[in-house]
């Protein structure tokens, strides 16, 4: 045993013998500090002030650090080095991982809508440590950085199918409570066949200017290879899409289209009947059959529901774009139901908060939820298979298979 190690143990033993358990924290500080100096000497391959050809770098003093442990807060002196060598004590590296785990737990509690006061109570009960509001705020800032990086990441792969939707959350804005629009985009990656969350934004409304800003941000991040947008009938989105992606076709969600049809029923007892009539159109095998079925439905209800027939003839084409794409893909791209299920999960989590103090806190929570979903999707099953027989592509004359995906 080296003299350095022997002296350290003797000093610790003296403290414990003279003062007993009440000096245990000081004893632990001494052990940590001495152990870290020994570890530094081993990394440098030389003791302090020792001249040797094997030396790698030099000692460079100490940096104070307060370290939370099960016996209280320890005042430690972290050995520093200079030269072509990096060093951080292995004993504290384990503590660093624990600290990161605690930060993740705090962040998750925040995401779940737990108040700062409750976070402090929980950490005191679990860890015996008091976590201040400022510490929780620091964790929140770190969380914001990672969430912002996710929202602004480059989109390198082509995404043939992109689903767009909006939902509303109550937030405070200029002293008033308003319904802020949360705009969401998910896409299917052509290279992997997996779904991904592409974009999230909180805006004052679904007006064209806000949708346009959202789509332009996706464009700047590299969104390419889009062959079809799928969404409900949002007027602001429709105008913004034509302005930013005018050459990309649009599939109106067939599920919502069926629901919209019920608004044109002349009597309440006819709502389901009209929705079923529209559903029968969508269950046909080709666009030609769908058009023929539409004519039949309009003739059937020309007298009983003329407003419905006029609306159907004016808008049915928006819901039939899906027929221009591979038959094996149609079930996945004819509706935006995947986004609806995602919205249900968001609602389940956001109803804890009920009212967000600002748009930033709303964006933080929803982004965190979507990051979780994104990670589940990219590590799960393939959503769509793009390795389809070329004959099917040629027979359908699909824009999806154009060579230029940019």
pLDDT digits (tens, 9 = 90+) for 132-165: 556 666 667 777 888 899 999 999 999 999 999 9
**Could you give the CA distance from residue 193 to residue 161 in angstroms, rounded to a whole number?**
10
Radius of gyration of the chain (CA): 31
Instruction: Quick: pLDDT tens for 280-314.
Output: 999 999 999 999 999 999 999 999 999 999 999 99
Instruction: Quick: pLDDT tens for 40-65.
Output: 888 898 888 888 888 888 898 998 88
The pLDDT score that the predictor gives to residue 48 is 82
The pTM (predicted TM-score) of the whole model is: 0.67
**Could you give the CA distance from residue 332 to residue 186 in angstroms, rounded to a whole number?**
13
Instruction: Quick: pLDDT tens for 378-391.
Output: 988 899 999 864 44
**Could you give the CA distance from residue 240 to residue 174 in angstroms, rounded to a whole number?**
27
3 state DSSP class of 6: helix
Domain ranges of the chain: 3-88, 95-150, 157-401
The pLDDT score that the predictor gives to residue 390 is 43
Q: What is the DSSP letter of 63?
A: E
pLDDT band at 67 (very low <50, low <70, confident <90, very high): confident
The answer for residues whose C-beta is within 8 angstroms of residue 182's C-beta and 6 or more apart is 166, 167, 168, 169, 200, 201, 202, 203, 346, 362, 363, 366
Neighbour tally for 102: CB within 10 Å: 18
3-state secondary structure labels for all residues of 87-151: CCCHHHHHHHHHHHHHHHHHHHHHHCCCCHHHHHHHHHHHHCCCCCHHHHHHHHHHHHHHHHHHH
Q: Distance between terminal CA atoms of the chain?
A: 67
For the segment 187-193, the average pLDDT, to the nearest whole number, is: 95
The pLDDT score that the predictor gives to residue 104 is 52
Does position 15 have pLDDT exceeding 70, yes or no? Answer: no
């Amino acid at each position: 045993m080296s003299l350095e190690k022997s002296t350290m143990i003797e000093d610790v033993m003296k403290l414990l013998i003279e003062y007993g358990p009440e000096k245990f924290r000081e004893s632990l500080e001494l052990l940590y500090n001495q152990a870290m100096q020994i570890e530094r000497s081993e990394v440098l391959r030389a003791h302090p002030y020792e001249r040797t050809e094997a030396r790698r770098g030099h000692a460079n003093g100490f940096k104070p650090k307060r370290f939370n442990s099960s016996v209280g807060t320890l005042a430690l002196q972290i050995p520093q080095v200079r030269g072509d060598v990096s060093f951080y004590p292995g004993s504290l590296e384990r503590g660093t991982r624990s600290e990161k785990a605690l930060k993740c737990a705090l962040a998750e509690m925040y995401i779940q809508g737990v108040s700062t006061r409750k976070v402090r109570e929980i950490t005191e009960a679990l860890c015996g440590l008091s976590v201040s509001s400022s510490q929780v705020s620091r964790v929140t800032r770190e969380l914001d950085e990672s969430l912002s990086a996710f929202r602004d990441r480059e989109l390198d792969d082509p995404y043939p199918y992109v689903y767009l939707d909006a939902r509303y959350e109550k937030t405070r804005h200029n002293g008033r409570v308003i319904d802020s629009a949360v705009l969401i985009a998910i896409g299917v990656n052509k290279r992997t066949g997996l779904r991904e969350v592409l974009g999230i934004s909180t805006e004052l409304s679904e007006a064209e200017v806000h949708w346009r800003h959202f789509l332009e941000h996706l464009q700047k991040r590299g969104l390419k290879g889009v062959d079809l947008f799928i969404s409900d009938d949002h007027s602001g989105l429709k105008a913004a899409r034509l302005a930013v992606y005018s050459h990309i076709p649009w599939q109106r969600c067939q599920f919502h289209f069926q629901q919209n049809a019920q608004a044109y029923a002349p009597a309440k007892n006819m709502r389901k009947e009209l929705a079923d009539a529209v559903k029968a159109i969508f269950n046909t095998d080709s666009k030609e059959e769908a058009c023929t079925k539409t004519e039949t439905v309009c003739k059937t209800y020309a007298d009983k529901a003329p407003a419905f027939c006029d609306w159907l003839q004016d808008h049915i084409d928006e819901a039939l774009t899906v027929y221009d794409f591979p038959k094996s893909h149609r079930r996945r791209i004819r509706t935006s139901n995947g986004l609806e299920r995602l919205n249900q999960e968001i609602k389940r989590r956001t109803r804890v908060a009920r009212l967000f103090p600002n748009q930033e806190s709303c964006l933080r929570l929803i982004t965190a939820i979507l990051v979780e979903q994104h990670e589940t999707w990219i590590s799960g099953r393939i959503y769509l298979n793009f390795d389809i027989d070329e004959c099917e592509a040629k027979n359908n004359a699909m824009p999806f298979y154009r060579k230029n995906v940019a």
